[in-house]
Homo-oligomer: A and B are copies of this chain.
Amino acid sequence: MRELKSKYDILKQQIYIIIYGSNTFAGRLFDLILLGVILLSVLLVMLESVEQLDAKYHSFIIISEWIITIFFTIEYFLRIISNKKPLNYIFSFYGIVDFISILPMYLSFIIPGSRMLSVIRALRLLRLFGILNLVHFTGQESQLKLAIKASRTKIIVFVYFVLIVSILLGAIMYVVEGKESGFTSIPVSIYWCIVTLTTVGYGDIAPVTTLGQIIASCIMIMGYGIIAVPTGIVTAEFASAKKNQINNSKKRICPSCTSIVYNEESKFCHLCGQKLSND
């Protein structure tokens, strides 16, 4: 009995290494297969929405989706079983995503059409970062994340400001252009204003009157200057983060004249000639 328990523990550990780890060959292979299956499942949901394809291959797509869902369900339970702290996994970001990924298919028995929601599986593709050891690009201390974090408040203040400007300009354009030009209501005008300020410019709604075109020109030129602000904020943060990273990784202090030595190759202080230790 105890031997069985022990065997089961070993099995659990082996499964853990394969599923969660990516250092062993089996673990790496599992990761790659998983990624392939996720990609396939996202593709299947996408193709199902194309009418001609769905008409032709409906049963094939449905069967494939069920196979994948069962595969994901097994994987989900294996992840819970093999983990020593299953609750940590269940309530982690990936745990929730994994759960939501398999839910829609089972829900489709009760609520027809909810199968479409399984496109949320696309979020599972973020696992690639873990597989490719790209964690240092997205991890807590990464330059990218730090720069985005540092500029977040400024960006929110900026977006709030843009929204207020959009409401005012939207209302003005509604009054100026009127319902004939497509500015049927203030919310639609605000939508148009955001489309213009962000330089997207669909053209589904466009000013027709001369005054409207003059105001629109001003909005566009404003948008020109405005687009520079978030870029400026993010760039300054990136440059600053980059500099800190470089400086911090290198700097030592000379024991004799207490000046700072930035060059990591230095063996002597550049100001007083004192010999430096290299640790």
Interface residues, chain A, CB within 8 Å of chain B?
Answer: 42, 45-47, 49-51, 116-117, 119-120, 122-123, 125-126, 128-129, 134, 137-138, 144, 147-148, 153-155, 157, 159-164, 167-168, 171, 174-175, 184-188, 190-191, 194-196, 198-204, 206, 210, 213-214, 216-217, 220-221, 223-225, 227-243, 246, 257-273, 275-276, 278
If A160-B128, A240-B246 touch, whether A259 touches B270 (CB-CB below 8 Å) is no
If A213-B188, A216-B191 touch, whether A238 touches B238 (CB-CB below 8 Å) is no
If A119-B168, A157-B144, A270-B267 touch, whether A194 touches B220 (CB-CB below 8 Å) is yes
A262 proximity list for chain B (CB < 8 A): 263
Would B187 and A49 count as touching, CB distance under 8 A?
yes
A190 proximity list for chain B (CB < 8 A): 46, 217
A243 proximity list for chain B (CB < 8 A): 240
Main secondary structure of the interface of A (DSSP, over half): helix
Docked CA distance A87–B181 (Å): 43
If A46-B186, A186-B45, A267-B257 touch, whether A220 touches B235 (CB-CB below 8 Å) is no
If A198-B224, A200-B199, A220-B195 touch, whether A273 touches B271 (CB-CB below 8 Å) is no
A214 proximity list for chain B (CB < 8 A): 191
Chain B proximity of A264: nearest CB distance (Å): 7
Docked CA distance A261–B225 (Å): 36
